[in-house]
Chain A
Amino acid sequence: MALDRISLQVDAGEFLCIVGPSGSGKSTLLRVLAGLHRQSAGEVRIEADRPGTPLTAMVFQEHALLPWRTVRDNVTFGLENRGVARAEREARAREMLAMVGLARFARHYPHQLSGGMKQRVGIARALANDPEVLLMDEPLAALDAQTRTIMQEELLRIWATLGKTVVYVTHSLEEALLLGDRVVLLTARPGRVCQIYSVDLGRPRGLEVRGSPAYGALLETIWSRLREEVLRAIAADRGADSEPAGG
C-alpha cells in the first residue's frame, strides 16, 4: 500500500504543495488525482463549473512530450483530442507559448530544446487545456539549479496571472515554501497526512522571501518533522533489506 487515509481539501485558486520522504506516495497521490492510477478505496471529487474542460492536467517530471510533434502541436494535443477547432487550438497555443516565453519556438521539435524549455512546453501543454486543477509532479527536479530558480519565479508569475488551483509535488522544502499557500507533509510509507502547514509569507512572493525570519522559522519547523519521516523511511528500507521474507 502506497497511501493510507489521505483526506485533503484544496481550495479553488490555491497553490498546494506536497512534500514527504521518498516512497511516501507523493507521486502516487498525484496520479490518483490525475486518473492515471486507480485507488483501491476512497474517492476524488473535483468541483467543476465549466463543462467541456478537463478536470486535471498534469506536468510530468520528465516532461513526457511527444518527440514527433512540434512545440505547438504538443501544446494543442489535448485540445485536438477533444475536437477543439483548429483556429481556436492555435490561438490557445500562441497565448500559452507566449506566457511561458516560447513564442519563437512553436515550430521546433522537443529534441531541439533545452531541459528547461521542454518543461516550459509541458507547462504550456497543461495550461492550454484549461483544467480545473493543475497537477505538477516534481516538474523542476530534473533541471539544473539556476534554471530551476528562474522557473520557480516564472511559475509564481503564471499562477498569479491565471489563478489556477495547483497541486504541486516536490522533494524540496525551500521550493514548497516559495511557491505554496499550504504545505502538506506526508509520512513515510504508507503515506499519510502527517501535518499541514500554512505558509503565511505574504503574496506576491519572490526569492527574497528566503531572507525573512518567518521563512527560516517555518523551514526549521517543517524540516525537523520531515527529518523524522525521512529517517523512518530509511530505517524501514534497511529492515526490508535484512528481512526480505519477514513482515
Chain B
Amino acid sequence: MKAPGRWLADRWLTIGSPIALLVLWEWASATGILRAVFFPRPSTIAWHLRDLAADGTLWGHVATTLVRIAWSFSLAAVLGVAIGLAMGLWRRLREGLDPVFAVIYPIPSVLFLPLVSFLVPPGEIALVVTTAVTSFFLIAFTTTHGVTQIDRLVVEAAQHYGARGWRLFAAVLLPGALPFIFTGLRLGLGFALIVVVAVEIVSTSRGLGALLWLSWQVLKVEDMYATFFVIALLGALLSYGLVALRARLLPWVPDVGDR
C-alpha cells in the first residue's frame, strides 16, 4: 500500500486539472468575462443540481436512462460477443460479414431510429434497439480481433497437450480473446450512453437526454448544466466500473495486474 501523500504526488495533475477548470469558470462567470446567462457559475449549477435531486425529478430521469442503457448494452453485449466469437473462429463468416459491418458501422446510430421503428414496435423498444446498434458493432469487432490475434504458437501448444473442440474454445480461445472483449464492452458501454442521450433528445420526454433538451428549450440553463454534469459522471462511473471489474477478472493481463 502506498502512503496517501505519495498517491497524491503521483496524481495531483489528474485531480487538480478539473478543479482548476471549475475555479477558473467560477471566477470568469462571477466577474462577467463569461455571460452568466449562458455560463452560470458552477456553484449556482451545484445548487440547482441539489434542487433537482431533492425534488426527485433527477432520479426519475436517471433511472429511466440507466434502465435503457442496461437493456441496450445487454442486447449489444450478448449479440456482439456471440457473433464476434463466431467471426473470429470461422474465417468464411468473417469474410462474409466484414464488408457489411464496415458499411453499417460508421452510420451515426441515431439515424437508425426511424428504420428501427418500422421493424420493431416504436417507443421504448425501438429506442433500446437503436441504442444497441453502434455498441453491438464495436463489441463484435473487438471480439473478432480478440480471437484472431491469439498467438498461433500458444494454440498449437494447447492442441499438442490435448485441447480439442469445446476444451480448446473454453480454455484457450475464449480466455485469449477476453482482454479484447473487455475493451469492446467498455467502448460499447460508453457508446450506449452517448447514443441513448442523443435518442432521448430527439424522441422522448423522459430520460437525461430529454431533461437536458427540455431545460435548454425553456432556458433553464443551470438545469441543463446540472444534467450535463450528471451524464458525464454516469459515463465515468460506468467506464471505471468496467475497468475495475476487468482488473478483478483478468489478473493475468500484465498492464492491469501490475497497477
Residues on A lying within 8 angstroms of B by beta carbon are: 34-36, 54, 57-58, 60, 62, 64-70, 77-78, 80-82, 109-111, 125, 129
8 closest residue pairs by CB, A with B: A81-B162, A64-B157, A78-B161, A68-B175, A109-B252, A111-B254, A68-B252, A64-B153
> Shortest distance in angstroms between B249's beta carbon and chain A's nearest beta carbon?
11
Residue of B154, B158, B160, B175 with most partner-chain A CB within 10 A:
B160
**CB < 8 Å: which of B154, B161, B167, B257 contacts A109?**
B257
Closest A residue to B167 using CB positions: A81
Q: Quick check: A62 and B252 within 8 Å, CB to CB?
A: no
What residues of chain A lie closer than 8 Å to B164, measured between beta carbons? 81
Q: Are A77 and B163 in contact (CB under 8 A)?
A: yes
Distance A60 CA – B157 CA, assembled complex (angstroms) = 8
Q: Evaluate whether A109 and B251 lie within 8 angstroms (CB atoms) in the complex, with A66-B158, A81-B161, A82-B162 already known.
A: yes
- A68 lies within 8 A of B178 (CB): yes
Least distance between B27 CB and chain A CB atoms (Å): 48
Interface size class of B (residues with CB under 8 A): 20 to 34
Which residue of the partner chain A has the closest CB to B178?
A68
User: In the bound complex, what is the Cα–Cα distance between A4 and B96 (angstroms)?
Assistant: 41
Max count, chain A CB within 10 A of own CB: residue among B158, B164, B175: B158
Q: B158 near A77 (CB under 8 angstroms)?
A: yes
Bound-complex Cα distance A110 to B253 (A): 10
Secondary structure class of chain A's binding surface, majority of residues:
loop
9 contacts between A and B (CB under 8 A): A34-B160, A35-B160, A36-B159, A60-B157, A66-B158, A67-B176, A68-B252, A77-B161, A81-B161
The answer for the CA separation of A36 and B152 in the assembled complex, in Å, is 12
- B interface residues (Cβ-Cβ under 8 A, vs A): 151, 153-154, 156-164, 167, 171-172, 175-176, 178, 250-252, 254, 257
B167 CB contacts on chain A under 8 angstroms: 81
Extra contacts, 15 of them, besides A67-B252, A77-B171, A81-B163 (Cβ < 8 A), are A36-B159, A57-B161, A62-B153, A64-B153, A66-B154, A66-B158, A66-B175, A67-B154, A68-B175, A68-B176, A68-B178, A80-B171, A81-B162, A111-B257, A129-B161
B contact residues around A68 at 8 Å (CB) = 175-176, 178, 250, 252
- CB neighbours (8 Å) of A65 from chain B are 154, 157
CA distance A65 to B175 in the complex (A): 13
Name the residue on A nearest B172 (C-beta). A66
Chain B residue numbers with a CB within 8 Å of A111 are: 252, 254, 257
Residues of B within 8 Å of A129, CB to CB, are 161
Residue of B nearest to A62 (CB): B153
A54 touches B178 (CB 8 A): no
Q: Is the CB of A125 within 8 A of B161?
A: yes
Residues of A within 8 A of B154 (CB): 64-67
Chain B residues contacting A81 (CB-CB under 8 Å) are 161-164, 167
Contact residues in B for A57 (Cβ distance below 8 Å): 160-161
- Chain B, Cβ-Cβ closest to A37: B156
Cβ–Cβ < 8 Å partners of B254 in chain A: 111
Give Cα A34–Cα B161 distance, bound, in whole angstroms.
10
Task: Kindly state the separation between the CA atoms of A35 and B157 in the bound complex, as whole angstroms.
Answer: 11
Residues of A within 8 A of B163 (CB): 77, 81
Are A58 and B257 closer than 8 Å at their CB atoms?
no
Determine whether the beta carbon of A58 is less than 8 Å from that of B157: yes
Known: A68-B176, A81-B167. A60 touches B153 (CB 8 A): yes
A62 to B152, CA, bound (A): 12
Given A78-B161, A81-B163, A109-B251: A36 in contact with B156 (beta carbons within 8 A): yes
**Given A66-B172, A68-B176, A111-B252 in contact, is the A54-B162 Cβ separation under 8 Å?**
yes
The distance from the CB of A38 to the nearest CB of chain B, in whole angstroms, is: 13
Report the Cα distance A54→B162, complex, angstroms: 9
Contact in complex: A36, B257 (CB < 8 Å): no
